[in-house]
A and B are shown apart, each in its own frame.
Chain A
């Protein structure tokens, strides 16, 4: 049994701001109150700030796993230094994204086992599942799982070029949805076997997509992870109290996920979506959305879904709904066909 013992997070501000892309286009964006620049030290400190809040006493028995889709800052720094464009000499700092985990483990006296997972939108969700594996296998007593995403003009321009970004609001599962709104944030969860009201029951991850960027419209790839997650946890669809959908607000992925939900859940389940509150935090969404959900359930309610009055299928809840315990399915579907469904249980 692996439990969620503690958590800490820095979410984006609830009101969207705007970010300017390199080509001059403005996009809606969920920004952190305090800007975290694309700077190795600032990112390191942002991670450290949340990790130190949940450190267990047995640090040497605690692994650190980061899930992110941040690209390698060597390259960004090289570009920023003008090396590529103007052929000026550039000295690489030779610091890859995993440096954060290794350096932080060293500084805080954590176990030397670190890992950085980069499976796009499922990065930190996969990190949570891997943390459960290493604890269950007895390699460490605890694992701290970090999800981090900071505004990246490169990534945002990429989503913009694919026509995936909304110019208005994130409207998951809504008929008038027009794309996703990105966000930034950093969160950390402490997992271990000590008693807690929150249990990480299990989950299932696969790599299965129709194309390099998306699953099929029928959503069978999403069905596979949801059904297998239920199976490995010896649960039935009727056992699920509520679903935290991935629900980015994009045209194709929302369609696929809703079709999958209809196949797995013959009766309409309680569904909530969280991206209208904090944005799509890509690699960090696993940790951040779980923390958001945990905070709400600890507060006694399942949060309503914003901006979806006319759904494409099952209707996400429209009002905050009393809920303080149960089993929660949390879905994450990423670029490149990385899909994962996690199951969490909360006792009173």
Chain B
């Protein structure tokens, strides 16, 4: 496989043990009706993309568990034999967050949604690198996990931070000078699917703006 070198143009991360307090929804989504429909993943994605200063262009969005809160609403309906909410169903698909991002920012470019298990954020970064290479554009790569659902403690044995996300805007670098390998420092308590991207954000925050990634 080949490796490519990426410039990190901007980066952002956020996480909380239970629920991220201020995702600046009112500023980011002035339309109240639309704001009310947003899922947690969508809110985190909108927040991170805003912090990265990215509104338009190609996006690769990754989430291992997808829209868990909405999925639970469906599970509730099945378990308690109540009517399934059409809104919950609409909001339960994997690409919900990226679709809200598209709607709110009027970004009509190619937006891919992937779910690659515990390697989700690393693979999302690889695909973002590929997109940037093929199209010669800056690409937003964002990964989000929102796990704070009722009774999560019954199946969660690994994550202390139930809401987390990371995002970077990348482009193909013109040369390999000063390119760094992606670190593998463990962000303790955060789900593995986000670790790679969190490391890249951390590297950016520490002044590293060029990384090498094996495709």
Q: How many Å lie between the Cα of A113 and that of B95 in the bound state? A: 22
Q: Which of B71, B109, B115, B131 is within 8 Å of A207, CB to CB?
A: B109
Asked whether B1 lies within 8 Å of A139 as measured between CB atoms, the reply is yes
Question: How far apart sit A115 and B126, CA to CA, in the bound complex (Å)?
Answer: 10
The reply to whether B89 and A161 contact each other, CB–CB distance below 8 Å, is yes
- Our pick among A113, A209, A224 for the contact of B215 (Cβ within 8 Å) is A113
Interface size class of B (residues with CB under 8 A): 35 or more
Distance of A134 Cα from B93 Cα, bound (Å): 26
Q: CA A63 – CA B93 in complex, angstroms?
A: 25
Chain A CB within 10 Å — which of B65, B98, B154 has the most?
A: B154
Q: In the complex where A205-B110, A335-B93 touch, is A96 in contact with B130 (Cβ < 8 A)?
A: no
CA distance A140 to B167 in the complex (A): 27
A118 touches B103 (CB 8 A): no
Residue from the list A74, A119, A137, A154 in contact with B113, Cβ < 8 A:
A119
Do B99 and A337 touch (CB < 8 A)?
A: yes
Nearest B residue to A99, CB-CB: B117
> Across the interface, do A336 and B109 meet the contact criterion of CB distance under 8 Å?
no
Decide: A158 near B74, CB < 8 A? Known: A72-B66, A139-B215: yes
Which of B64, B88, B130 makes the CB contact (< 8 A) with A139?
A: B130
Which of these, A22, A101, A158, A209, contacts B92 with CB under 8 Å? A158
**Contact B78–A75 (Cβ < 8 Å):** no
B66 touches A162 (CB 8 A): no
Whole-angstrom CA separation of A101 from B114 in the bound complex: 12
Is there a chain A Cβ closer than 8 Å to B32's Cβ? no
Partner pick for A126 among B84, B112, B154, CB 8 A cutoff: B112
Most buried by A among B37, B134, B155: B155
Q: Assuming A115-B114, A118-B94, A154-B74, is B155 touching A83 (CB within 8 A)?
A: yes
Report if A98-B215 is in contact (Cβ < 8 Å); known contacts: A117-B113, A154-B74: no
Taking a contact as CB atoms under 8 Å apart, the answer to whether B117 and A162 are in contact is no
In the bound complex, CA of A135 to CA of B109 (Å): 22
B212 within 8 A of A: no
Contacts of B202 in A (CB 8 A): none
- Chain A contact residues (Cβ within 8 angstroms of B): what range? 35 or more
Of the residues B77, B83, B123, B130, contact of A134 by C-beta under 8 Å? B130
Cross-chain contact B108 with A224 (CB below 8 angstroms): yes
A93 to chain B, nearest CB (A): 11
Asked whether A117 lies within 8 Å of B114 as measured between CB atoms, the reply is yes
Contact assessment for B115 and A98 in the assembled complex, using a CB-CB cutoff below 8 Å: yes
A207 to B92, Cβ gap below 8 A? no
Query: A96 with B116: in contact, given A69-B94, A71-B66, A158-B92 (CB under 8 Å)?
Result: yes
- Nearest opposing residue in chain A for B154, CB measure: A83
Least CB separation from A208: chain B residue: B108
**A296 vs B65: C-alpha distance in the bound complex, in angstroms?**
38
CA distance A69 to B93 in the complex (A): 8
CB-nearest residue of chain A relative to B111? A207
User: In the complex where A130-B127, A207-B107 touch, is A79 in contact with B79 (Cβ < 8 A)?
Assistant: yes
A207 and B119: CB pair below 8 A? no
Residues of B within 8 A of A120 (CB): 93-95
Q: How far is the CB of A140 from chain B (nearest CB, A)?
A: 8
- Contact assessment for A154 and B155 in the assembled complex, using a CB-CB cutoff below 8 Å: no
CA distance A79 to B53 in the complex (A): 39
Complex interface: chain B residues within 8 A of A158 (CB): 74, 84, 86, 88-90, 92
User: Is B68 close to A, CB under 8 A?
Assistant: yes
| Residues 57-96 of chain B, each 1 if its beta carbon lies under 8 Å from chain A, else 0 | 0010000111010011011011101011110111111111
Measured CB to CB, the nearest residue on chain A to B156 is: A92
Are the C-beta atoms of A75 and B71 separated by less than 8 Å? Answer: yes
Taking the closest CB of chain A, its distance from the CB of B132, in whole angstroms, is 11
Residue A251 is within 8 A (CB to CB) of chain B in the complex: no
CA distance A84 to B98 in the complex (A): 28
Digitize B137-172: 1 where CB-to-A-CB distance is under 8 Å, 0 elsewhere. 000000000000001001101000000000000000
- Asked if B20 is at the interface (CB within 8 A of a chain A CB), the reply is no
Q: Is the beta-carbon distance between A22 and B111 smaller than 8 angstroms?
A: no
A289 to B74, CA, bound (A): 29
With both beta carbons as reference points, the residue of chain A lying nearest to B151 in the complex is identified as: A84
- Give bound CA distance, A110 to B71, whole Å: 33
- B36 CB–A CB distance under 8 Å: no
Q: Which residues of chain B have C-beta atoms less than 8 A from A211's C-beta?
A: 103
Question: Please, which residues of chain A bring their CB within 8 A of the CB of B102?
Answer: 207-209, 336-337
* A230 CB, nearest partner CB in chain B, Å: 17
Known: A87-B154, A119-B95, A119-B113. 8 other contacts (CB 8 A): A79-B78, A83-B155, A96-B65, A119-B112, A139-B1, A157-B77, A209-B102, A212-B100
**16 A-B residue pairings within 8 Å (CB atoms):** A23-B83, A69-B94, A84-B72, A94-B118, A98-B120, A134-B130, A154-B78, A157-B77, A158-B74, A159-B89, A160-B84, A207-B99, A208-B102, A211-B103, A335-B99, A336-B96
Q: Which residues of B contact A (CB under 8 A)?
A: 1-2, 37, 59, 64-66, 68, 71-72, 74-75, 77-79, 81, 83-86, 88-96, 98-100, 102-103, 107-120, 123, 126-127, 130-131, 133-134, 151, 154-155, 157, 215
